[in-house]
């Protein structure tokens, strides 16, 4: 991952893969990859907002990295916690407002806030395919959550 554009592309790829999985009845994997898509979209936003397009390019050897404290910043944003990434991106106040004002948003709030990378270590639990498909639609639709991240 080198630039916010690269990270956004990876986010879209993870969401496309999630759609393939949900279409083929692999619901838990679809939810897991969808969460990674959101994580990547937030990380692209952070790099952009901070004016550090190379933030995730750890192979880069910019002599200003130490001066700017990028190692510490990179460690902070390596998290998989979506709420923390919302806060670092500056989107948390708008997120909190949206979840208070939009009934439809409340339906997906719990899914967004319950996602974590630790799901990879859990055995699949019964999940409704319709719920995961509608969650993917919520994320990727024309006025979806990823579009909201981009425009806020």
Residue 152 domain flag? no
Return the higher-pLDDT residue of 63 and 136. 136
Neighbours of 60 (CB within 10 A): 11
pLDDT given at position 129: 76
Residue 56 domain flag? yes
With beta carbons less than 8 A apart as the criterion, state whether 92 and 8 touch.
Answer: no
pLDDT digits 0-9 by tens, 20-30: 999 998 988 89
pLDDT given at position 1: 58
- Please state the domain count of the chain: 1
Confidence band, pLDDT 50/70/90 cuts, at residue 126: low
Terminal CA-CA length for the chain = 22
Domain holding 41, by residue range, is 4-146
pLDDT exceeds 70 at position 68: no
pLDDT exceeds 80 at position 64: no
Residue 151 domain flag? no
Residue 71 domain flag? yes
With beta carbons less than 8 A apart as the criterion, state whether 40 and 11 touch.
Answer: yes
Residue 26 domain flag? yes
Can you give the pTM of this predicted structure? 0.87
Three-state secondary-structure class, residue 128: coil
pLDDT digits 0-9 by tens, 102-113: 877 877 887 788
């Amino acid at each position: 991952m080198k630039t916010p554009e690269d990270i956004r592309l990876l986010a879209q790829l993870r969401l496309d893969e999630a759609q393939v999985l949900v279409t083929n009845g692999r619901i838990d994997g679809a939810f897991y990859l969808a969460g990674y898509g959101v994580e990547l979209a937030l990380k692209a936003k952070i790099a952009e907002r901070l004016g550090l397009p190379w933030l995730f390019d750890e192979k880069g050897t910019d002599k200003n990295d130490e001066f700017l404290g990028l190692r510490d910043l990179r460690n902070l944003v390596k998290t998989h916690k979506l709420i923390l990434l919302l806060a670092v991106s500056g989107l948390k106040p708008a997120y909190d407002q949206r979840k208070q004002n939009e009934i439809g948003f409340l339906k997906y709030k719990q899914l967004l806030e319950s996602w974590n990378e630790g799901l990879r270590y859990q055995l699949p639990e019964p999940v409704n395919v319709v719920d995961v498909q509608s969650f993917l639609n919520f994320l990727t639709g024309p006025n979806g959550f990823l579009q909201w991240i981009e425009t806020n």
